[in-house]
Amino acid sequence: MRAGETIDEVFPNWIEQSHLDQNYYCPFNLV
């Protein structure tokens, strides 16, 4: 990840990977 990049640019599906239901998110390692 470079200084100008956002998390969405590097991992575009991070919300789908962490979102389990409406009020619960599961943490995961991005690397």
- What pLDDT, on the 0 to 100 scale, is given for residue 9? 76
- What pLDDT, on the 0 to 100 scale, is given for residue 3? 65
Condensed to tens digits (0 to 9), the pLDDT of residues 1-31 reads 556 777 777 777 777 766 666 667 667 676 6
CA distances from 19 to 2, 7, 9, 10, 25 (A): 25, 15, 18, 18, 5
- What pLDDT, on the 0 to 100 scale, is given for residue 12? 74
pTM, full prediction: 0.29
